[in-house]
Structure 1
Amino acid sequence: MLRLKRLEVQGFGPFADQQVIEFPNGPGVTVIYGENMRGKTSLLNAIRYAFFGTVVGRGSRPRRLHTISNRELASDGQYGFNVALTFDYDGAEYELVRECIPRVKVPASDEDYSLEVLLRKGNATLGPQEREKALQQVFPREVSRFFLFDGELLQEYEELLINESEAGHRISEAIERILGVPILKRGRAHLTQLSEDADKAAAKEASKRQETQALGTALQQATEQKEAHQKELARKQQELNDLNAQKLEVEQVLQSMQKYASILQERDEANARLDEAGKEEKSMRGDLQRAMGDGWRSLLRDPVRAARTAAQAEAQKEFDAVILSLRAKAIESGHCGTCEQDVPPGLADKLRSTLPAQSAAAVPPGGVSAAMSRLADLNKFNEADNAGEVRQLWKRLEELRLEQVTLRDRISDLTAALSDSEPETLRRSKTSYAEVIEKISVVKRAIDEESKKADEKDQNIQRLKKKLEAAGTSDLRAGQLRAKILRDASEVFGAAVERYKSDLRGRVEATASELFLSMTTEKQDFAGLTINEGYGLTIRHRDSRAEEARSAGAEHVVALALMGALQRNAPLRGPIVMDSPFGRLDENHTANVIETLPKMAEQVVLLVYEAEVGRARMRDLLGSQLVREYELNRVSARRTNVREVK
């Protein structure tokens, strides 16, 4: 069993000066109180850094070590940090020290640091290979999620209920790892390999004998072809695993930046609209310029109309004068020059009576009068009124100018809101996610094809084996019998593994149900939890039906129950270090969880801020199980000290 004894940090996060936390030897809960930004998560990360040399941020994304140095010391030109962790494991005491030492005066990236690691077991200092082997045995990185976690990590366990979820698949694999199942799976795989080797040896021997040569050679070839497909299948499976790991990593980035995604999308849309508005304004200005080219016509419309009316009146007078002149001439000559007919005396008298006392002037010599000519010119004037069009274009330009000012202000506000994010990372992640999804689809199709080919070869191998068994000699039968015994042993071992896994799930289900009923406030309605093959847990009502609509708080309690159940049923036992695990819980559930903590693991380290649970309330709930208390005291915005609460 792994038990923490002492943690020392210096220069790590807000802990500028050396700070020490001593963990009592007996079972119970150590509580560390701290307000936001005082260093609770940094203490969790310090333990993680000691064991693995990595630090994680939101979404379980690795953080750059350069950002871990205390900012106040860095402003004074002091960089780097160290973490020392003392712990017991399997009856021996270990001291693990990691230092991040700057190699340049003013480091700017992780490459500017050297990393030093020291591991002592008792009085002996272990070499690099021994150290890594010992750390992997003491605390495998793959199972660390069950010992070091925060409220955000607890939310991942909801994925266990989604059968097709890649995250859920990875978590279930990690659960089997902590429960020791992979060791048994490797045992079965070893027996399977031995049986296949025995089959190959039997086929090789058969190919040497004349009576079985053809069958033996065919069996060898089929086996080699199957192995080729299996190798390609393994290669594709590893490729799929790598792609799924990339997919999970990108999903974690996207999830951690989800709160920025809508802001970034809005800013992108605002930038796009700003660009469109600029182009539209440019187009509107061109239209306005063309419209203004004919705008002068609107100013001259009324004067031209008045001049046209006057010219029409004058032309009409001249026209009337011409008519009278022609009529007078026809009367005088007795002949009409227009229709070329004579005018009888009676008609001439009648026409004469229509003439005024003084006849108007005739058409001036030379043709059309000035009035007629002026009227013709005025009639050529296009008096189309585009004043409305000009006003509309001008109004639209004003709207576009105002919209662009508003958009620029909004973009400025959105950019400020994104100041602590990485928009480019988010964009790249979205693109990368789409690419990875497509690659996964291609690889899955390839795996299906290879699996189909390998199955076909295996069926052929089984037919050839039967023929060989029927045609073989007693010498061959001995090798064939050995291969069969190994195959049968592999199948028996496989069935035993499945039986063990089933029993193990049953024990985890029973323990998780016990812890869940201890933590829930709905004890009268629930009978416990039901586990599935992927270790996902559903709430079971007393009427045996599953709870379909689970709240965020219920998911939280179920995840905590699973954590405790794994701790109590795993071969590897260790401390649980929890950072602010009550964010989604109400006061009553929080109290129940605190009372249940001592049942989850022998050593529990709880990092909380006092607003979640007051000290008096914490002491009342835990009683003698509260073995030690610390508080994180603010010295400045960038400096925190640790003080034991007496």
Structure 2
Amino acid sequence: MLHFRKMTLRDFGPYKGEQTIDFTDKSGVTIFWGNNGRGKTTLLNAFRYALFGVIQRRNGVLKSLSEMSNTEAMAEGRYGFSVVLDMTNDNDTYRLTRELALREGVTKPSGEEDYEKILSLNKNGSILSPEGREHELNMIMPEQVARFFLFDAELLQEYEELLETNTSEGDHIKTSIEKILGVPVLQNGVVDIEECLSKYEKQKSRAARDDGKTTQLGQEMDTLTANIDEHQNIIREKQSEQSELIRKKNALEGRMHDTEKLRNWIVERDKAEKNKKKAEDELEEVKANIRELMRGAWRGMLLNTVRGICESIEKKASVLESKRQRKTVAEKFIIEMKKAISDRVCPVCGQDVSDDIIQHLRERIKESTNEYAGLSEAERQSLFEFQAQIGALKRLSEGTEDARFKVAAIEERIDSLELNIGQYKQEIEELRENIERYGEDAEESDVLSISKAYSDVEQTLREVRRGIENETTKLNALKANKEKVAATIDKMAGGDDYRAASRRYELCEHVYKIFEKSKALYRERLKQNVEKDATELFVKLTGDKDYVGLKINDNYGLEIIHRSGRKVPGRSSGYEHVVALSLIGALHMNAPLRGPIIMDSPFGRLDPTHKANIARTLSSMAEQSMLLAYTGEIDDQVARYEIGNKLVHEYQLERVSSMHTEIK
């Protein structure tokens, strides 16, 4: 069984200088406490780097290892890093050293090519050869099963894929599960026998061609075999392409998760900048309108003065106009009176007018002519001038009141727009600070292109899957045809060579079927054991009496069983988390390969009860367990109480600077 005893880091990520973690020889649980950004995931990667020489981020494998060099150490002239892992496996002791160092003669690197990778494995005091080293490392922990030993709990939800049938993601995880359980031992035997079976089949085909009765059928068999091989090669190529696309998809999902906040901030910033530009354009347009209105604003300033002058002139004009109107009325009256005198008849009532009245009318005509003499020439000219002045003054003040209201409304709109622009500027500045703080190493164009890249990969993946399905359909049709031809050959061929080839083929076929059946029986027994152990862990972890167990499917997917016997549909992400942990624990219990479990932030989606249950159960999942938890993810008192005397060590990841973390 693999056990990590000690790990020494030098300038690896935020771990500046040389820092050592002593795990001791004891079995139990070690906890690393640290806030986000303090280097918990880097510790997980330190194990991955030491064992496999790779560094895994959620967005994929780190392409340039030199990026893990400590920034402050590089500023001080130290380049590269190293990880030394002391461990035991059964009765053997190992010291594994992996280092990224400057090439000889290089004092300051300009690129990845200035570094060299150094690997050394010491077993029981002896340094192993490169071949021996690779063999031992593969025996200690094959990289293909590392996902069950070193894992970020954020990726646990991917195990939900095991519930679906005929999905490439589920098949990929299923293959990894069977590797840790030892199924490949039988699978490799099946593959070897398949090669023998293919060789004997070719011998049969050759013998059929040499037999005069089946020459043509033998040639047809060769053609069918060649076509089958071609389609199988195409399927393998597409499956390889599919695996690569799945890797890209998972990497993009990780990048989408990592950059979700950043992408939202960029979108919000762009929206705020667009709104700000729109508001600024409207403000410019509104200011242009008010400038146009202000061209006549001086009229408003003179409005009271103009009104006073206009009222004074109107009074003078009114006096003259009244005098003119009285003259007009008097002239009409005189005309009527003169007509009454001439006709001796009253124009109003039609009665005859006597001489006394006519005399009176003549006197009134004389008086009226003197009294209502009308306007003089000077007065008429003054009245004309007064009227012209009044018209001019009214035109001067015309629209002034409307303009004042319009200006007031526009000024209110300007205030509102300027306030909005100010708010947009503040929002943009805050978003820019967030983007700069969290996206220092990210190109905005790359961040925004992730969603499109993810969509493109999904589309390509769907096309590849359809291609595999089409090729499989063609392959099955060819195999069925081949079986018919083979049956016909068996009936017709009678030569000794063909009968001898047939016997060899049949014997090999029987052995193949034995291995296939053995593999199926072994797999079924493993599934039953995994189901049983996973159920026991799940019951301990959940504590819900309504949930009595788990049911395993052919993909090793686990479904929750209600006490009524029904499967529980649509389980929450928290329960998905618990089920995945139950599966991992059960796999460790049934795997020929045993080793430590190292979990990064395993409590994120869980309530306090489930957190306590997991802490209590953790020591039974593996002989050596390590928790990388951020402060507050689980209460430290709860963790200590539940783990009890199985708690071996606690470490605190303390911030010295943004680029320097100390393990205390």
Q: Where on the TM-score scale, by shorter chain, does this alignment land: which range?
A: 0.7 to 0.9
TM-score by length of 1: 0.78
The one of 224, 229, 239 aligned to 1:227: 229
> Displacement, 1:71?
4.8
> Displacement, 1:417?
2.2
The one of 472, 478, 489 aligned to 2:493: 472
Instruction: Quote the Cα distance in structure 2 between the aligned partners of 1:437 and 1:116.
Output: 38
The sequence identity of aligned pairs, in percent, is 32
Say whether residues 1:54 and 2:54 are aligned partners.
Answer: yes
Instruction: Quote the Cα distance in structure 1 between the aligned partners of 2:85 and 2:44.
Output: 12
Contact 2:211 2:493 in 1 (8 A): no
Which ranges in structure 2 are unaligned for 5 or more consecutive residues?
333-341, 348-364, 378-383
Contact 1:61 1:252 in 2 (8 A): no
Equivalent residue for 1:418? Answer: 435
Equivalent residue for 1:456? Answer: 477
> Displacement, 1:239?
1.6
Secondary structure in structure 1 of the residue aligned to 2:100: strand
Instruction: Quote the Cα distance in structure 2 between the aligned partners of 1:639 and 1:449.
Output: 54
Q: Read off the aligned partner of 1:403 and give its amino acid letter.
A: N
Contact 1:17 1:641 in 2 (8 A): no
Which aligned pairs between 1:104-503 and structure 2 lie closer than 5 A? 105=107, 110=112, 112-163=114-165, 167-284=169-286, 395-422=412-439, 424=444, 425-474=446-495, 475-480=497-502, 482-483=504-505, 486-487=508-509, 489-503=511-525
> Displacement, 1:138?
1.9
Contact 1:39 1:632 in 2 (8 A): no
Instruction: Quote the Cα distance in structure 2 between the aligned partners of 1:488 and 1:360.
Output: 141
Contact 1:38 1:632 in 2 (8 A): no
The one of 499, 509, 514 aligned to 2:531: 509
Secondary structure in structure 2 of the residue aligned to 1:403: helix
Instruction: Determine which structure has more spread, i.e. the larger CA radius of gyration.
Output: 2
Which ranges in structure 1 are unaligned for 5 or more consecutive residues?
328-344, 363-368
Instruction: Quote the Cα distance in structure 1 between the aligned partners of 2:541 and 2:520.
Output: 31
Equivalent residue for 1:331? Answer: none
Instruction: Quote the Cα distance in structure 2 between the aligned partners of 1:169 and 1:161.
Output: 11
Q: Read off the aligned partner of 2:547 and give its amino acid letter.
A: F
Instruction: Quote the Cα distance in structure 1 between the aligned partners of 2:50 and 2:623.
Output: 21
> Displacement, 1:118?
1.1
Secondary structure in structure 2 of the residue aligned to 1:16: strand
Instruction: Quote the Cα distance in structure 1 between the aligned partners of 2:288 and 2:296.
Output: 13
Q: Read off the aligned partner of 2:640 and give its amino acid letter.
A: M
- The superposition leaves residues 251-271 of structure 1 with CA deviations (integer Å, 9 ceiling, x where unpaired) of 111123334343333223222
Say whether residues 1:82 and 2:82 are aligned partners.
Answer: yes
Of residues 184-193 and 509-518 in structure 1, the stretch that sits farther from structure 2 once superposed is 184-193
> Displacement, 1:245?
1.3
Q: Please provide the CA RMSD for this pair.
A: 4.9
Secondary structure in structure 2 of the residue aligned to 1:184: helix
Equivalent residue for 1:544? Answer: 565
Instruction: Quote the Cα distance in structure 2 between the aligned partners of 1:278 and 1:483.
Output: 84
Contact 1:167 1:248 in 2 (8 A): no
Of residues 561-570 and 546-555 in structure 1, the stretch that sits farther from structure 2 once superposed is 546-555
Contact 1:14 1:39 in 2 (8 A): yes
Contact 1:33 1:630 in 2 (8 A): yes
Secondary structure in structure 1 of the residue aligned to 2:16: coil
Contact 2:99 2:119 in 1 (8 A): yes
Q: Read off the aligned partner of 2:55 and give its amino acid letter.
A: V
Instruction: Quote the Cα distance in structure 1 between the aligned partners of 2:229 and 2:298.
Output: 89
> Displacement, 1:357?
8.2
Say whether residues 1:572 and 2:581 are aligned partners.
Answer: no
> Displacement, 1:96?
0.9
> Displacement, 1:237?
2.3
Secondary structure in structure 2 of the residue aligned to 1:233: helix
Q: Read off the aligned partner of 1:640 and give its amino acid letter.
A: E
Q: Read off the aligned partner of 2:239 and give its amino acid letter.
A: Q
Instruction: Quote the Cα distance in structure 1 between the aligned partners of 2:20 and 2:151.
Output: 21
Equivalent residue for 1:7? Answer: 7
> Displacement, 1:566?
0.7
Contact 1:143 1:175 in 2 (8 A): yes
Instruction: Quote the Cα distance in structure 1 between the aligned partners of 2:261 and 2:631.
Output: 26
Q: Read off the aligned partner of 1:31 and give its amino acid letter.
A: T
The one of 560, 583, 587 aligned to 2:581: 560
- The superposition leaves residues 385-409 of structure 1 with CA deviations (integer Å, 9 ceiling, x where unpaired) of 6766666555444433332221121
Q: Evaluate the alpha carbon distance shift between residue 43 and residue 443 of structure 1 in structure 2; reply closer, same or farther with a 3 A threshold.
A: closer
Equivalent residue for 2:381? Answer: none
Instruction: Quote the Cα distance in structure 1 between the aligned partners of 2:601 and 2:40.
Output: 8
> Displacement, 1:618?
3.0
Instruction: Quote the Cα distance in structure 1 between the aligned partners of 2:130 and 2:263.
Output: 43
